[in-house]
Structure formats: C-alpha cells, structure tokens
Structure 1
Amino acid sequence: MGRPAKPLISRGSTVAASIEIIDTEGMDAFSLPRVAKHLNVSTSSLYHHFADRRELMTEVAKEIMLEAVVPGHPQGKDWVEWFVDLSLNYRDAILRHPNAALVLVQFLPRDILTSTYEKCARILDDAGVPAPLHVVILDGLEKLSLATTLTELMRQPVGSTEIFPNVDARRHPTLTRALATNRWSSRELFVVTIRGFLAGVVSGAPAVESST
C-alpha cells in the first residue's frame, strides 16, 4: 500500500484536536491516546510531530494565546485605552477555553508574546511614556491579565459570578455592604483594574525616578 497523498495528521491538526477535546471533555479526558483516537491515527503517529505530551501542551497554550487579536496602532486614541482593549482581547481568548486554564498556568512560554511586547513598547514610546516604565507596564499587564482571568475561571462552582464566595452578612458585615453596593460586572472590574494599574504606574513615575 502506497503512502497517502497527504499526511494523515499535522502539528496544526493535532493542536486543534487537543483544544477541542479539552474544551468539550475537560483536562481529565485529555491524553495522547485520546487525541490519536480523535484523529483516527495511532498514538505513535503523534510522536512524529511532538516529542512528548509537554511539547503538545505548550503548543496548545500558544495557540490559545495567539487567538487574541492585537489592536491596530492607535491613531489619535488614548494609549491607555489601547492597552485596555489588548488586555480584554487576551481575557476573552482565555475565557473561550475555560477547561484549559491549567494548561496556560503550566505550559505557556513567555517568549510567545515577544513580538507583541515589541509593538507595545513602540506604542508606549510614541505616546511619550518614559522608557524606564515600559517593562513594569508590560510585565504588570501580563500578570494582571493572566492572574485575574485564570482566577475567575477557577472559581467554584465553575462559572460562578460571585466575586467573593461564601460571604456571611453576620461575620463579614463590611464586605457584605461593599458587595451590595458594587455595580460592576467581572468584565467591568477587569477594565477598572487595568486602568487603575496604568494610572498608578504613570502617576508614581516621579517618585520612582527620584529614588534612583
């Protein structure tokens, strides 16, 4: 029997199948044999494209993050709002794959976003943001975006919209009042957090510079 005209699988199709399994069946169902069955190939075929499970998981994490759309260069737009839009796009990409939260925590390589960081640094530079603040902004936004979104995904029960679960009015009266007056959704709280972080970094710049 001759070889098929086209390979039965590729790196791309294997990553896509892995994401589909994780999305629909959860991480507990994921395994290389399960992916092979989904693709109707032998498990050994996967090793022609990936050295091991870790390499495949790394590619899955990359693919999820690369789903986020990087906005075009802001023309006359407040640079802060450009970073809010970018952070929201990463949040949305992660939330589309709630079962993959642990994949992102364990396997996301930081260098996957290096080209995006270069664009971000240019936008900060064009906006007149001092160069010593660029790294703290980029590093902080990455940590905030990932941490807040992954925390939201890992709330129990899954999909819960409670900001602080298990709050008891008798034992936590002040927090109960705060929650009662909150009118922001999770998405709006995320935006406020990003804006507040950026405002704090910029307003604190003189103090940082004077201490160096």
Structure 2
Amino acid sequence: MSVQPTGASCVSCASCGRTLEPADRGRPRLYCSRACQARAYRARRVEGPAEAQGSDDGATHLTVERIVRAGIVVADTEGLDALSMRRVATELGTGTMSLYRHVASKDDLVTLMVEAAMADVPLPGSPARNWRHGLERAAHRDWELYHRHPWILPRVMVTTRAYFSPALAADSESAFASFDGLDLEPADAFRYMFMFASYVQGVAVTLVSDAEAARQSKTAGPREVKAADRAQDPLYEPGAYPRLARAMRAGADPWDLDALFASGLAGVLDGIAADLARRGIEP
C-alpha cells in the first residue's frame, strides 16, 4: 500500500485508466508509461483531439440553434447531399459526437433546418386585400424561400404522403386564408390550392436545378464549363428545330426565371378567377 502525500489525490492514466500516484513536484503525470503516451498520441492523429477524448470537447457553446444554423450554411453553400453530422461538426469546430447531445440524427437536423429556414421568411402580418392578393404574396414568399435555400424544395413539395410540420402547416393555413369570404367548399379550396402550389413548385424545380448547376460549375474546370456551354448552342441555331430555336431566342436568351414565374403565376390566377366567375362566385 502506498502512502499518498498530504493534500494530494490519485489520478488516472489518460490512456489506459490505471491509477497513478500524483507528482509531489513538477508537472503532474498524465500517462503510466511511454507506451500509453504513444498510444494516445496516435489516437489523436487518427481521430482528432475531440474524438480521441470520447468527443467530450467541453463544447458548452453548442446549442440546437447554432447546430441548425450551421447545417443551413452547409446546405446553402454545398447542397443537401454534402450535409452530415461530421460536416456540421467541422463547421462548428467541435467533435461529431458533441452534436448528438443536442440533435438526435441527421434527419432530425434537416427537419429543424426546414423549420428555421421557413421562419426566416416571415408570414404576412396583415389580412390579404382579396383572394388574388393573398395567393400572389404567398407565391412570392415561397419563391424567395427557394432563392435563399434551394435545398428546401424537396422537403416541402406537395405530396400525397401525410406528414406534419408546424412551419408548413402555418404556411398552408396562411395561403388558404386567401379564400376567406368566398364561401368555397373545402374541396374546391383544396383544388385551387393544389393547382396554385403545383405551379409555384414546378417552376421552382427549374430554379433549384439552375442553382445547383451554378454551384457545381464553381468547382468544375474551365474545360467542363465550356463543354456544357457548347452543348446548349444547337437549341439557339436555326435548322432542324426552327420553332424551338425561335422560341428559345425570344423567351430564354437570356433566361429570366423571375419574369417567367410572375407571368405564369398571373395565368394561373386568371384561370382560378375564370372558374370562380363560371360558378357565380363573386370575389
């Protein structure tokens, strides 16, 4: 039995856990042998400092909000496919396992990211002037959301699968409020909203696709970018496809998706207005 110096306490080897006698002078011992010291050094090189210590990096600065915001930054700049708990941990400068103390999984993280991203584009604070005004501002709110966060579109698409999201429910409730005062049957309100949302999200597919292509082109070499540009040239040349060439030169050279979106939206709303009039429903 060893006798401990007065006022001292035992410590454990940082590698194997064996009890060490505390030093009575100089720096305290961390390892029981040079072999344990070398083993710990190799672990830090392979796993990183945080993970070599069981990912207990003392990351008291972490919160759910910070993790979610870091995830949004990664998805905005690198795409949702690049998102992982490890990538978010790197963004925050912490160990991967530290994130799991706050967020259970990547799927849970993406769910929280959707909620936060939608909250960044607030719902209208006042009632719509009429049904058309209500749907117009709902459409432009969603369009702005897809511009800011292209990755969010697949997570909010119209679907027959039932799932609940507080932000999506609030967004839909606000849009449906556009029909207040028309005395519509719920099934008719749903039919109009389905047509409206399908248009907005359908055009957004093109927007998101272009945003992803632009993001990827930043990492492509000049040779790949030029090849992609040349591949588009036949669409604009008269010849085998004269109608297509004329239409593309007139309407898509250059592309102005914002203008095309607004024009198409007006057509959809005109269609709803015509159907309301046919059924004798006064706005």
Give the TM bin, normalised by the shorter chain.
0.7 to 0.9
* Matching residue within 202, 211, 214 for 1:158: 214
Higher share of residues assigned helix = 1
Q: Secondary structure at the match of 1:50?
A: coil
The alignment's C-alpha RMSD in Å is: 3.4
Number of aligned residue pairs: give it. 198
More moved, 148-157 vs 39-48: 148-157
* 1:107 CA displacement: 7.1
* Matching residue within 71, 96, 120 for 2:148: 96
Q: Secondary structure at the match of 2:126?
A: coil
In the alignment, which residue of structure 2 is the partner of 1:148?
203
8 Å contact from structure 2 (residues 123, 174) kept in 1? no
Separation in structure 1 between the aligned mates of residue 248 and residue 87 of structure 2, nearest angstrom: 44
* 1:207 CA displacement: 6.9
Larger Rg, first or second structure (1 or 2):
2
* 1:154 CA displacement: 0.7
Separation in structure 1 between the aligned mates of residue 183 and residue 262 of structure 2, nearest angstrom: 20
In the alignment, which residue of structure 2 is the partner of 1:169?
238
Q: Secondary structure at the match of 1:170?
A: coil
Separation in structure 2 between the aligned mates of residue 94 and residue 139 of structure 1, nearest angstrom: 18
8 Å contact from structure 2 (residues 238, 245) kept in 1? yes
Question: Does structure 1 residue 204 correspond to structure 2 residue 270?
Answer: no
In the alignment, which residue of structure 2 is the partner of 1:179?
248
Unaligned runs of 5+ in 1: none
* Matching residue within 53, 71, 90 for 1:37: 90
Q: Secondary structure at the match of 1:49?
A: coil
Query: Which TM-score applies when normalising by structure 2?
Result: 0.58
Counterpart residue identity of residue 22, structure 1: A
Counterpart residue identity of residue 89, structure 2: A
Q: With CA pairs under 8 Å and 6+ residues apart, which has the higher RCO, 1 or 2?
A: 1
Q: Secondary structure at the match of 1:36?
A: helix
In the alignment, which residue of structure 2 is the partner of 1:130?
184
8 Å contact from structure 1 (residues 50, 56) kept in 2? yes
Separation in structure 2 between the aligned mates of residue 90 and residue 107 of structure 1, nearest angstrom: 10
Cα gap change, 1:174 to 1:208, in 2 (>3 Å): farther
Query: Which TM-score applies when normalising by structure 1?
Result: 0.75
* Matching residue within 112, 135, 146 for 1:59: 112
In the alignment, which residue of structure 1 is the partner of 2:72?
19
Q: Secondary structure at the match of 2:180?
A: helix
Question: Does structure 1 residue 81 correspond to structure 2 residue 130?
Answer: no
Separation in structure 1 between the aligned mates of residue 168 and residue 264 of structure 2, nearest angstrom: 21
8 Å contact from structure 2 (residues 74, 82) kept in 1? yes
Q: Percent identity?
A: 23
8 Å contact from structure 1 (residues 64, 94) kept in 2? no
Separation in structure 2 between the aligned mates of residue 193 and residue 69 of structure 1, nearest angstrom: 24
